[in-house]
């Protein structure tokens, strides 16, 4: 080793060990996601963690309005082996890719004898989503699934039941829209922008028909005709005047805003939306929000798309022990319960769905646990960002009518075949 290298190595070691030796605080920095991940709820949790762990301070960074933007951002930071972020939230679709890239610190050795016990407490889908190649690569933080949100007051007014199929939803929406005579009332708001959520927009009707995107071995089994039918089903909502023509621009947050403003009878959205619709100061629909399982295609079954967020420890963190401590705290039952009570955020622990205080705050959790447990997973793949890109841009292009559904699906099939080869 050259002298210069030796000096810089010594400086590096000193700079990472001295503060602790001098009794200075270890400063951690975490990435807590965008508004949909509710980083607003995190500071008081971190204050509690800091009180219980003197000598560790935690700084929060937020950003990235949508999941794929956050994936891109973290990809840039971690791809550069940047050590400035110690821990980060990651979408349930990301552990496989992040682990394959070597960006996640495996937690097995840190958990030690606690490993089996720690994992067995979570809903099984999340325990397995975070176990990649036999290693624990992240820990579950929040659960999620897509639900049907509806205006209770309007369905009551017209004495209409919550629809069980998408065709029934169209009919119901048209009746209410005609009755209300308001050009502003959209029948159904859903996500057609080329965001991560549009992967689920693509998959919902396809899964509802009983079709699979991959087999058990992870081989591609795309049924193109079924996928075309799925996209045509969504376009039909636009043609019927139920969904607005700009659906190919609509992101998750837009659906929240449209519904909050009283401009949508039905909405397809994730669990976090409930609290926003019920509690945001600017919500015009407080007390009028119903939540139900998703409709199915005719003759099919109701299927949801599983979502949720995990905490991972960066492989490049210079404070692994402290960061693991923090991540274990953030993924513990007490935090999951607090998020459920304060933010209506779906818990990753099964028993919290039955907790009386939680149910008082969010009565729909009584059936939400089952929806989460039976929801389907987007494909697990080391090249997930490309899988996602193919599905969401193809879906959005079809909804924008810049290509036909047949062209969109042929395009998706071609791109997926190259990834899954
Ligand atoms: C929600 C889900 C996440 C999903 C995202 C898509 O945040 O929890 O899994 O990918 O929405 O918009």
pLDDT for the residue 11: 45
Report, in angstroms and rounded to the nearest whole number, the Rg of the chain calculated over CA atoms.
Answer: 23
Ligand 1 pocket mutation pick from 270, 310, 377, 380 by most atoms within 8 angstroms of CB? 270
Chain-centroid distance, C-alpha 184: 29
pLDDT for the residue 23: 74
Is residue 17 assigned to a domain? Answer: no
Question: In terms of domains, do 31 and 177 share one?
Answer: no
Question: In terms of domains, do 187 and 265 share one?
Answer: yes
Question: In terms of domains, do 162 and 232 share one?
Answer: yes
pLDDT for the residue 10: 47
For atom 4 of ligand 1, the residue with the nearest CA is 307
The strand pairing partners of 290, in sequence order, are 150
Q: Which long-range contacts (CB under 8 A, 24 or more apart) does 70-73 make?
A: 70/31, 70/33, 70/34, 71/196, 71/385, 72/385, 73/31
- Range(s) of the domain holding residue 172: 145-306+378-420
Question: In terms of domains, do 166 and 205 share one?
Answer: yes
Is residue 15 assigned to a domain? Answer: no
Question: In terms of domains, do 45 and 121 share one?
Answer: yes
Is residue 8 assigned to a domain? Answer: no
Smallest CA-to-CA distance from 258 within 295, 285, 291 is with: 285
User: The pTM is what?
Assistant: 0.93
User: Angle CA(96)–CA(101)–CA(104) in degrees, nearest 5?
Assistant: 70
| Strand, helix or coil for residue 135 | strand
Question: In terms of domains, do 298 and 197 share one?
Answer: yes
Which of 350, 368, 386 delimits the end of a domain? 368
208 lines ligand 1 (CB under 6 A): no
Question: In terms of domains, do 42 and 170 share one?
Answer: no
Is residue 163 assigned to a domain? Answer: yes
Indicate the number of domains in the chain.
2
Is residue 12 assigned to a domain? Answer: no
CATH number at residue 70: 3.40.190.10
Alpha helices in 148-242 (DSSP H): 152-157, 166-180, 197-208, 224-239
Question: In terms of domains, do 137 and 220 share one?
Answer: no
Question: In terms of domains, do 102 and 177 share one?
Answer: no
pLDDT for the residue 7: 47
pLDDT for the residue 22: 61
Is residue 184 assigned to a domain? Answer: yes
pLDDT profile of the chain (421 residues), mean per 10: 49 46 86 93 96 98 96 97 98 98 98 95 97 97 98 98 98 98 96 98 98 94 98 98 98 98 98 96 97 97 98 98 98 98 97 97 96 96 97 98 98 97 87
Question: In terms of domains, do 262 and 395 share one?
Answer: yes
97 lines ligand 1 (CB under 6 A): no
Question: In terms of domains, do 243 and 390 share one?
Answer: yes
Tokens 């791109």 -> residue = 415
Ligand 1 pocket mutation pick from 33, 34, 36 by most atoms within 8 angstroms of CB? 36
**Structure-token pair, residue 307:** 């979502």
Question: In terms of domains, do 302 and 312 share one?
Answer: no
Q: Say if residues 61 and 88 touch (Cβ distance below 8 Å).
A: no
Distance CA 413, CA 141 (A): 33
């Amino acid at each position: 080793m050259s002298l210069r290298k030796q000096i810089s190595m010594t400086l590096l070691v000193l700079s990472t060990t001295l503060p602790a030796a001098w009794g200075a605080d270890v400063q951690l920095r975490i990435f807590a996601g965008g508004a949909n991940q509710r980083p607003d709820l995190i500071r008081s949790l971190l204050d509690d963690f800091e009180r219980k762990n003197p000598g560790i301070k935690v700084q929060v960074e937020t950003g990235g309005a949508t999941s794929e933007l956050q994936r891109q951002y973290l990809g840039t930071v971690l791809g550069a082996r940047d050590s400035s972020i110690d821990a980060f939230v990651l979408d349930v679709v990301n552990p496989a890719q992040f682990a394959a890239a070597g960006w996640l610190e495996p937690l097995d050795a840190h958990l030690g004898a606690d490993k089996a016990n720690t994992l067995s407490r979570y809903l099984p889908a999340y325990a397995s989503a975070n176990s990649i190649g036999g290693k624990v690569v992240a820990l579950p933080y929040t659960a999620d699934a897509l639900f049907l949100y509806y205006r209770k007051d309007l369905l009551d007014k017209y004495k209409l039941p919550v629809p069980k199929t998408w065709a029934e939803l169209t009919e119901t929406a048209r009746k209410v829209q005609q009755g209300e005579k308001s050009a502003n009332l959209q029948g159904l708001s859903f996500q057609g922008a080329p965001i991560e959520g549009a992967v689920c927009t693509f998959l919902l009707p396809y899964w509802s028909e009983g079709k699979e995107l991959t087999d058990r071995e992870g081989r591609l089994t795309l049924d193109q005709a079924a996928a075309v039918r799925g996209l045509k089903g969504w376009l039909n909502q636009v043609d019927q005047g139920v969904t607005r023509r700009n659906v190919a621009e609509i992101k998750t947050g837009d659906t929240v805003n449209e519904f909050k403003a009283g401009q949508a009878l039905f909405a397809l959205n994730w669990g976090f939306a409930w609290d926003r619709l019920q509690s945001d100061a600017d919500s015009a629909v407080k007390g009028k929000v119903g939540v139900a399982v998703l409709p199915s295609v005719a003759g099919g079954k109701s299927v949801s798309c599983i979502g949720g967020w995990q905490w991972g420890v960066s492989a490049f963190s210079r404070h692994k022990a402290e960061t693991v401590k923090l991540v274990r705290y953030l993924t513990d039952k007490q935090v999951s319960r607090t998020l459920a009570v304060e933010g209506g955020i779906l818990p990753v622990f099964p028993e919290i769905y039955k907790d009386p205080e939680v149910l008082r705050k969010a009565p729909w959790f009584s059936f939400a646990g089952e929806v989460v447990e039976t929801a389907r997973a987007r494909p697990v793949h080391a090249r997930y960002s490309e899988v996602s890109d193919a599905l969401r841009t193809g879906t959005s292009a079809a909804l924008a009518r810049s290509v036909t559904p047949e062209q969109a699906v042929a395009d998706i099939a071609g791109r997926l075949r190259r990834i899954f080869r």
